[in-house]
Each structure stands twice: as structure tokens, then as C-alpha cells.
């Protein structure tokens, strides 16, 4: 990657990270309105959970099928990114619908959390299989992503809330992956995977430090 391409990548990645940090807290009122609209359809929150998982799975499958589509593989990052963004939107919708319709349940929470882990695994495996990024980098990104979720789950089991702590939560990771992979530089998706690893590792470290200070 030449210096000009690196500057383009860095500038866009930095912009995306700062944008995510600024809009996170402003999304709740908007998503409440969106949740109300989707709740009016009569479809359950679990329906949107499954629809989100299916959408993410399709993205992973598309990435993995690079060798089967010939010269049209150049469109896969665009299609995959659109599916990831759609899946992320549906993932947010299911929580909003659950709260609005008072369908929040332990079963729904379990299905949502498990589906999140499955979808991330499918996406990174698909990226590695399709040769869009080095398999080792995908393994690192996936492992760190799982650690972000594990540190929160373990802390919550010890009555310590870490929700929202750190920039590298799942929604932010997937949005960063989708956006950075479209930057017009060589092996953009590989850099997107690296970006996910960076924000995930910073979040894991942040949570470990906070938990270590607060837990006795």
C-alpha cells in the first residue's frame, strides 16, 4: 500500500470511528420510533432476530463464494457490506421491538446473544475462505470480538455492568468492517479486519482494567 492509499484509509477509518462515538448516544430516540413502526407489523422480536442472523449468514456465504463468481467477485465487498448493514439494522430493530411490545425475555436474550456470535463467526470465516483477508488476521479479529462479549458477560455474572464501555461493541465492529472494506485501496477488506481487531482489543483491555479496579 502506497502512502497516498494509506492516508485515505487512515482518514476514513478515523472519521468512521469518531462518527460512531458521536452518534451512539443520539440513536436511542430514533430507534424507538423505528421500533414502534416495526412493532406495528405484529411480527415478534424473535422474527427480526432470525432475519438478522439469516442476513449476516448470507453475507458470510457470499464472501466465501469468491472463487465461484469469476470476475464478478469485485462486487462481493459491496453486496456483503450492504447485507452487513441491513443485518445490523435488523439486529437493532429486534431489541427495540422487544422493549416496545414488552417481549423482553431470557429466551429472547439468549437467542439474540447466540445469534450474534454465530453471525460474526460466519462473516469472518467467509472473508477468510474467500481470500479477502489473511486467515490469521480473521482469526485474531474473531477471537478479540468474542473476548469483547465474554468480558461483558463475565462481568455481568459478577454483578458488574460493562455495557457500552469501549468503542468496539458488536454494532460498531460490524459497521466499521462494512464501511472500511469499501475504501478504494488495495486489500481494503483486510485493513477492515485489522481495524476491527484494533478497536476490539482496545475495548477488551479497557474492560479488563475497569473490572479489575471495581471487582474485589
Helix (H) or strand (E) holding 69: none
The reply to whether 116 belongs to the active site is: yes
CB atoms within 10 A of CB 89: 15
Q: Active site residue: 91, 94, 112, 116, which one?
A: 116
Q: Is 192 exposed, middle or buried (0-12, 13-18, 19+ CB in 10 A)?
A: buried
SS3 112: helix
Q: Distance between CA 212 and CA 122 in Å, rounded?
A: 32
Read off the C-alpha cell for 44: 415478534
Which of 198, 142, 139, 148 has its CA nearest to residue 17? 198
Q: Distance between CA 112 and CA 99 in Å, rounded?
A: 14
CA distances from 84 to 80, 135, 162, 192, 204 (A): 6, 20, 25, 13, 23
Q: Distance between CA 49 and CA 51 in Å, rounded?
A: 5
Q: Distance between CA 141 and CA 197 in Å, rounded?
A: 5
Just list the catalytic residues.
116
Amino acid at each position: 500500500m502506497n502512502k497516498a492509499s494509506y492516508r485515505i484509509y487512515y482518514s476514513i477509518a478515523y472519521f468512521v470511528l469518531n462518527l460512531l462515538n458521536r452518534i451512539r448516544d443520539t440513536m436511542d430516540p430514533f430507534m424507538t420510533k423505528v421500533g414502534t413502526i416495526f412493532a406495528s407489523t405484529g411480527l415478534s422480536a424473535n422474527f427480526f432476530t432470525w432475519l438478522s442472523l439469516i442476513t449476516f449468514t448470507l453475507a458470510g456465504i457470499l464472501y466465501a463464494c469468491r472463487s465461484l463468481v469469476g470476475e464478478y467477485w469485485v462486487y462481493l465487498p459491496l453486496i456483503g457490506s450492504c447485507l452487513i448493514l441491513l443485518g445490523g439494522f435488523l439486529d437493532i430493530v429486534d431489541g427495540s421491538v422487544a422493549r416496545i411490545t414488552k417481549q423482553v425475555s431470557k429466551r429472547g436474550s439468549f437467542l439474540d446473544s447466540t445469534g450474534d456470535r454465530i453471525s460474526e463467526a460466519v462473516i469472518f470465516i467467509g472473508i477468510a475462505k474467500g481470500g479477502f483477508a489473511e486467515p490469521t488476521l480473521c482469526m485474531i479479529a474473531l477471537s478479540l470480538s468474542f473476548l469483547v462479549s465474554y468480558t461483558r458477560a463475565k462481568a455481568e455474572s459478577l454483578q458488574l455492568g460493562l455495557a457500552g464501555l469501549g468503542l468496539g461493541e458488536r454494532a460498531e465492529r460490524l459497521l466499521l468492517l462494512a464501511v472500511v472494506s469499501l475504501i478504494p485501496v488495495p486489500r481494503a477488506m483486510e485493513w477492515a479486519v485489522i481495524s476491527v481487531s484494533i478497536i476490539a482489543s482496545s475495548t477488551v483491555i479497557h474492560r479488563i482494567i475497569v473490572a479489575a479496579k471495581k471487582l474485589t
